[in-house]
Structure 1
Amino acid sequence: MTPPSPPHLLFIFVFIFLNSVVSSQQFLTSERIILLNLKQSWENPPSLANWNLTSSPCIWPEVQCRNGSVIGLELESKQLIGSIPESICNLSNLENVSLHENLLQGEFPRVFYKCSKLIHLDISLNMFVGALPDDIDRLSKLVAADFGGNNFTGDIPPAIGNLSALTSLLLYQNLFNGTIPPEIGNLSNLETLGLAYNEFADPEIPSEFQKLNSLKVLWMPATNLVGKIPKSLSNLVNLELLDLSLNYLEGAIPPELFLFQNLDRMFLYRNNLSGQLPAVIQSPNLTQIDVAMNKLTGSIPDDVGKLQKLEVFNLYSNQFSGRIPASIAQIPTLRIFRVFRNNLTGELPPEFGLHSKLESFEVSDNQLTGKLPENLCAGGFLTGVIAFSNNLTGELPRSLESCDRVTTVQLYDNKFTGEIPSGIWTLPNISTLRLYRNSFSGELPSKVAWNLSRLEISDNKFSGRIPPEISSWVKLNVFKASNNMFSGEIPPEFTVLSELTVIYLDGNSLSGVLPSEIKSWNSLTTLNLARNKLSGQIPPSFGSLQDLSELDLSENQFSGQIPTQLGNLRLTSLNLSSNKLTGKIPSSFDNMAYQNSFFNNPNLCSSSQISNLKNCFPKNSHSKKFSPKIIAMIIILSVFVLLAAVLFVLFVFKDYQMKKPKRIRTTWKLTSFHKMDFTETNILSCMSEANVIGTGGAGKVYRIGVGPPRGFVAVKRIWNNKKLDQNLENEFTSEVQILGSIRHSNIVKLLCCLSSQNSKLLVYEYLVHQSLHRWLHGKKRKSEPGLVPGFVLDWPRRLQIAIGAAQGLCYMHHDCSPPIVHRDVKSSNILLDSEFNAKIADFGLAKILEKPKPGEGGMSSIVGSLGYFAPEYAYTTRINERIDVYSFGVVLLELVTGREPNEGEGDLNLAEWAWKHYGEDDSVIGALDPEINGYMEEMSTVFKLGLICTSTLPSSRPSMKDVLEILRRCNPLDQLPEEMKQGREEFDVAPLLKRESYITSYQETEDII
Structure 2
Amino acid sequence: MPKPTSSSPEIPPTVFFFFFFFLFILPFYVVNSQSFNQEQAILLNLKQQWNNPPSLNSWTNTDGSGSHYCNWTGVVCTNGFVTEISLSNINITNKIPQSICQLQNLTHIDLSYNYIPGEFPIVLYNCSKLQYLDLSQNYFVGPIPSDIDRISTLQSLNLGANNFSGDIPASIGNLTELRKLFLFQNQFKGTFPAEIGNLLNLVELGLAFNQFVPSTIPKEFGKLKNLLYLWMADTNLIGEIPIEIGDLANLEKLDLPTNNLTGRIPDNLFLLKNLSVFYLFGNKLFGEIPRKIETLNLVEIDLSMNQLNGTIPEDFGKCQYLKYFDMYNNSLSGEIPASIGWLPNLIGTRLFINNLSGILPPEFGRHSKLEDFQVSLNQFNGSLPDGLCANGVLTGLIAFSNNLTGGLPGSLENCNSLKYVQLYNNNFSGQVPPGFWSLTNLSTVIINDNSFSGELPDKLSWNLSRIEMHNNEFFGRIPSKINASANLMVLRASNNQFSGDIPVELTALRQLETLSFDRNRLSGEIPASILSWATLSSLNLSWNQLSGEIPTAFGSLLDLNQLDLSNNQLSGAVPPQIGRLKLTFLNLSSNQLTGRIPIEFANSAYENSFFNNTGLCLSNSDRRCISETRDSSRLPVRFIAMILVLSGAALLMIVLSAFFVIKNYCKREHGDDLSSYKLTSFQRLDFTESNILSKLTENNLIGSGGSGKVYCVDVTRSHNYVAVKKIWSKGKLDQKLEKEFEAEVEILGTLRHLNIVKLLCCISNGKSKLLVYEYMENRSLDRWLHGKRRGALAFNAIHHAVLDWPRRMNIAVGAAQGLCHMHHNCNPSIIHRDVKSSNILLDSEFNAKIADFGLAKILAKTGESEIMSAVAGSFGYMAPEYAHTTKVNEKIDVYSFGVVLLELVTGREAKEGDEHTCLAEWAWRHYQEDKAIESALDEEVKEPCYLDEMSMVFKLGLMCTGTLPSNRPSMKEVMQILLRNGSSQSYREKKVQTENDDAPLLNVTSDYLAGNKGSQKKTSLG
Q: TM-score, normalised by structure 1?
A: 0.72
Q: Structure 2 counterpart of 1:805, which letter? A: R
Tell me the residue number matched to 2:667.
none
The separation in 2 between residues aligned to 1:113 and 1:847, in whole angstroms, is 42
2:788 equivalent in structure 1: 767
| 2:430 aligned residue (396, 407, 418) | 418
Please point out which of 563, 588, 594 is paired with 2:575. Answer: 563
Unaligned segments of structure 1, at least 5 residues: 621-660, 669-686, 702-715, 750-763, 773-796, 815-822, 832-839, 850-860, 870-890, 919-924, 970-983
Counterparts of 1:38 and 1:827 in 2: how far apart (Å)? 37
Q: How does 1:401-800 map to 2 (within 5 A)?
A: 401-607=413-619, 664=659, 695-699=705-709, 734-735=774-775, 738-739=777-778, 767-769=788-790
> How far 1:508 moved relative to its partner?
0.4
Secondary structure, aligned partner of 1:436? coil
Give the distance between the partners of 2:851 and 2:574, measured in 1 at CA: 54
Check whether the contact 2:462–2:485 (CA below 8 A) recurs between aligned residues: yes
Offset, 1:592? 2.1
Q: Which residue is equivalent to 1:976? A: none
Task: Find the counterpart in structure 1 of residue 924 from structure 2.
Answer: 929
- After TM superposition, give the deviation of residue 944 of structure 1 in Å: 3.9
How far has the Cα of 1:943 moved from its partner? 4.0
Counterparts of 1:729 and 1:843 in 2: how far apart (Å)?
Answer: 25
1:731–1:907: structure 2 CA closer, same or farther, 3 Å change rule? closer
**Bigger relative contact order, structure 1 or 2 (CA pairs below 8 A, ≥6 apart):** 1
Corresponding residue for 1:986?
987
Structure 1 residue 541: deviation in Å? 1.7
Letter in 2 for 1:254: P
Give 3-state SS (helix, strand or coil) of 1:295's partner: coil
SS at match of 1:200: coil
User: C-alpha displacement at 1:911, in angstroms?
Assistant: 3.1
d(CA) in 1 for partners of 2:707, 2:219: 59
Report the Cα offset of residue 336 of structure 1. Answer: 1.0
Structure 1: which amino acid aligns with 2:520?
A: N
2:47 pairs with 1:39: yes
- Where does residue 997 of structure 2 map in the other structure? 997
Alignment of 1:837-848 (within 5 A): none
State how far apart, in whole Å, the 2-side matches of 1:867 and 1:213 are.
61
Secondary structure, aligned partner of 1:82: coil
Partner of 1:230: 242
Q: 1:1006 to 1:166 in 2, by over 3 A?
A: farther
1:116 corresponds to: 128
| Cα drift, residue 385 of structure 1 | 1.0
Structural RMSD (CA): 4.7
What is residue 820 of structure 2 aligned with on the other side? none
Q: Which moved more, 1:18-27 or 1:338-347?
A: 18-27
- What one-letter code is carried by the residue in structure 1 that aligns with 2:777? I
Give the 5 Å matches for 1:127-166. 127-166=139-178
Task: Tell me which residue corresponds to 2:671.
Answer: none
Q: Which residue of 2 aligns with 1:307?
A: 319
State the Cα distance separating 1:695 from its structure 2 match: 3.8
CA distance in 1, matches of 2:92, 2:423: 55
Go from structure 1 to structure 2 and tell me whether the alpha carbon gap of 1:556 and 1:964 turns closer, same or farther (over 3 Å shift).
farther
Specify whether residues 594 and 1006 from structure 1 end up closer, same or farther in structure 2 by C-alpha distance, changes over 3 A only. Answer: same
Task: Tell me: CA distance 1:1003–1:330, structure 2 relative to 1, closer, same or farther (3 Å).
Answer: farther
Q: Does 1:805 align with 2:808?
A: yes
2:891 is matched with 911
Percent identical across equivalent pairs? 41
Identify the match of residue 334 of structure 1 among 316, 327, 346: 346
CA distance in 1, matches of 2:552, 2:710: 33
**How many angstroms does 1:811 deviate by?**
9.4
Task: Determine if contact 1:898/1:928 at 8 Å carries over to the other structure.
Answer: no
Deviation at 1:144, TM superposition (A): 0.8
Q: Which amino acid aligns with 1:31?
A: E
Q: Is contact 1:966–1:987 with CA below 8 Å preserved after alignment? A: no
CA distance in 1, matches of 2:29, 2:922: 50
Q: Residues of 2 paired with 1:1002 and 1:219: CA distance?
A: 18
Counterpart code for 1:598: F
Aligned residue for 2:117, secondary structure, equals strand
**Residues 64 and 263 of structure 1: is their aligned pair in 2 closer, same or farther, counting only changes over 3 Å?**
same
The structure-2 alpha-carbon separation of the partners of 1:58 and 1:802, relative to structure 1 and needing over 3 Å to count, comes to farther
Shift in CA distance, 106/666, structure 1 to aligned 2, threshold 3 Å: closer
Is contact 1:123-1:146 (8 Å) kept? yes
The Cα of 1:381 is off from its aligned counterpart by: 1.7
What amino acid sits opposite 2:997 in the alignment? S
Is 1:386 matched up with 2:386? Answer: no
- Mapped to 2, the partners of 1:721 and 1:595 lie a distance apart of 43
Query: Secondary structure of 1:269's match?
Result: coil
Three-state SS of the structure 2 residue aligned to 1:600 is: coil
Q: Offset of 1:100 from its aligned partner?
A: 0.8
Per-residue Cα deviation, 1:847-899 (whole angstroms, up to 9, x for no partner): 999xxxxxxxxxxx994359999xxxxxxxxxxxxxxxxxxxxx9x999x995
SS at match of 2:41: helix
For residues 857 and 17 of structure 2, what CA distance do their matches in structure 1 show?
A: 72
Aligned to 1:346: 358
Task: Note the C-alpha offset of 1:80.
Answer: 1.6
| AA at the equivalent of 1:88 | I
Choose from 63, 70, 77 the match for 2:75.
Answer: 63
- What does the per-residue CA deviation read over 1:500-519, in whole Å, with 9 as the maximum and x for residues that have no partner? 11100001011111112225
The DSSP-based 3-state class of the residue aligned with 1:418 is strand
- Whole-angstrom distance in 2 between the partners of 1:511 and 1:842: 48
**Contact 2:224–2:248 (CA<8 Å) still a contact in 1?**
yes
Q: What is the match of residue 823 of structure 2? A: none
Q: Which residue of 2 aligns with 1:242?
A: 254
Decide whether the 8 Å contact of 1:364 with 1:387 is kept in 2. Answer: yes
- CA 1:563–1:161: 2 relative to 1, 3 Å: same
Q: 1:998 to 1:245 in 2, by over 3 A?
A: farther
**Shift in Å, 1:948:** 9.7
- Whether contact under 8 Å (1:894, 1:901) holds in the other structure is no
Tell me how far apart the structure 2 counterparts of residues 76 and 91 of structure 1 sit (CA, whole Å). 19
Paired with 1:720 and 1:866, the residues of 2 have a C-alpha distance of 9
Instruction: Give distance in 2, aligned partners of 1:516 and 1:963.
Output: 47
Work out the number of aligned pairs and report it: 813
1:335 Cα offset (Å): 0.8
Distance 1:468 1:70 in 2: 73
1:297 aligns with 2:309: yes
Do the aligned partners of 2:352 and 2:378 also contact (CA within 8 Å) in 1? yes
Q: Counterparts of 1:425 and 1:231 in 2: how far apart (Å)?
A: 52
Change (3 A) 1:899 1:390: farther
Mapping 1:771-920, distance limit 5 Å: 805-807=808-810, 828-829=836-837, 863-865=852-854, 902=882, 907-908=887-888, 911=891
2: CA distance, partners of 1:115 / 1:906: 44
Report the 3-state secondary structure (helix = DSSP H, G, I; strand = E; otherwise coil) of the residue aligned with 1:251: coil
Q: TM-score, normalised by structure 2?
A: 0.71
- The yes-or-no answer on 1:206 pairing with 2:218 is yes
* Change over 3 Å in CA distance of 1:619–1:589 after alignment to 2: closer
Identify if the C-alpha distance between structure 1 residues 898 and 462 changes in structure 2 by more than 3 Å, giving closer, same or farther: farther
**CA 166–619 in structure 1, closer or farther in 2 if over 3 Å, else same:** closer
Matching residue's letter, 1:930: R
TM-superposed CA distance for 1:593, in Å, is 2.1
Match of 1:29 among 37, 41, 57: 37
Taking a change above 3 Å as real, the CA distance of residues 451 and 248 of structure 1, as seen in their structure-2 partners, is same
Query: Do 1:374 and 1:397's aligned partners in 2 also have CA atoms closer than 8 Å?
Result: yes
Shift of 1:378: 1.4
SS in 2 for 1:930: helix
Cα distance per residue 1:653-677 (max 9 Å; x no partner): xxxxxxxx99957799xxxxxxxxx
Shift of 1:211: 1.0
Q: Is the 8 A contact 1:988 1:1006 kept in 2?
A: no
From the superposition, tell whether residues 290 and 502 of structure 1 become closer, same or farther in structure 2 (CA, over 3 Å).
same
The whole-number CA distance in structure 2 between the counterparts of 1:496 and 1:88 is 68
SS at match of 1:375: coil
Indicate the residue corresponding to 2:111 in structure 1: 99
Q: Distance in 1 between matches of 2:981 and 2:293?
A: 30
C-alpha contact (below 8 Å) 1:345/1:367 kept by paired residues: yes
